[in-house]
């Protein structure tokens, strides 16, 4: 199914929660949705017989130009062989959205990674701790205003 068709179906199902489609030709089209109902939307995408998005390729946190955040879900259906991109926008202060860990187990580590690098918090995640950086690391390295630590446990970091 094409992205625009999926958009129509989703809008029929969820109404105003589905905001818009975006993206331009050589790149991917995406569907922007409201972060509050993301779990229901994902469950619908996974379980409905026409969609069957059973495979989550990737979940990425992004910081936009205006310093707000976004979380992007790349979904794929192994049985029906189609794909879709779902995007949610988050505020600059205290970015938060519900976890989709119970929809796709794959999201577990991806969400922890987004938390570790960008500080996006996923509510309801069973283990929201850092994954790549040490557990006592300070700051979120992938934010655009990140200043590296000078020292970690007595060892100098800068070159």
Partner 1 sequence: MAERKTIELGYEGVPTDRMRMNVGPQHPSTHGVLRLEVELEGEIVTDVIPHIGYLHRCFEKYAEKMTYLQLIPYIDRLDYISSMNSEWPYVMGMEKLLDITVPEKVEYIRVIFAELNRIANHQIAVATFGIDAGAFTPFLFLFRDREMIITLFEAASGGRLLYNYFRIGGLSGDVPPTFKEDCLSIVKQVRNTNKEVMDLLIYNKIFVERTANVGILPADVAINYGVSGPMLRGSGLDFDLRKAEPYSIYDRFDFNIPVGKGEVGTVGDCWDRNVVRMYEMEESCRIVEQAVAQMSMEGDVLETIPKKIRPKANEIYCRAENPKGELGFYIISDGTAIPWRVKARGTSFVNLSVIPEISKGYMMADLILILGSIDIVLGEVDR
Partner 2 sequence: MGLLNRLGDPYNAEGVILGTMEQILNWGRAKSDWFMSFGLACCAIEFMAVNASHFDFMRFGTIPRPSPRQSDFMIVSGTVTMKMAERVKRLYEQMPDPKYVMSMGSCANAGGPYWEHGYHVLKGVDRIIPVDVYVPGCPPRPEALLEGMIMLQSMIRKEEIFKKRDKIKAEDEAKDIKAV
User: Which parts of this chain interact with partner 1 (CB under 8 A)?
Assistant: 23-24, 26-28, 30, 54-58, 60, 62-63, 65, 72, 74, 78, 81, 85, 104-106, 108-109, 117, 130-134, 141-142, 144
Let me know: does 44 contact 94? Beta carbons within 8 Å. no
Instruction: Give the closest residue to 112 by CA, choosing from 123, 95, 128, 98.
Output: 128
Using CA atoms, how far residue 54 sits from 35, 37, 105, 115, 142, in Å, is 20, 19, 11, 24, 29
Is residue 149 involved in binding partner 2 (CB under 8 A)? yes
Residues 107-136 that bind partner 2 (CB under 8 A): 132-134
Nearer to partner 2, 94 or 146 (CB): 146
Nearer to partner 2, 27 or 158 (CB): 158
């Amino acid at each position: 199914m094409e992205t625009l068709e999926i958009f129509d179906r989703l809008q029929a199902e969820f109404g105003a929660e589905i905001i818009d489609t975006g993206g331009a030709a050589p790149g991917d089209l995406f569907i922007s949705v409201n972060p509050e109902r993301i779990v229901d939307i994902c469950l619908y995408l996974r379980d409905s017989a026409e969609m069957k998005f059973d495979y989550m390729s990737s979940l990425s946190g992004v910081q936009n130009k205006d310093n707000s955040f976004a979380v992007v879900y790349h979904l794929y259906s192994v049985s029906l062989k189609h794909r879709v991109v779902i995007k949610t926008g988050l505020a600059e202060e205290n970015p938060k959205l519900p976890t989709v860990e119970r929809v796709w187990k794959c999201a577990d580590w991806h969400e922890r990674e987004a938390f570790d690098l960008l500080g996006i918090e996923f509510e309801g995640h069973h283990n929201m701790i850092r994954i790549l950086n040490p557990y006592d690391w300070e700051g979120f390295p992938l934010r655009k205003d990140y200043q590296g630590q000078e020292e970690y446990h007595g060892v100098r970091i800068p070159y």
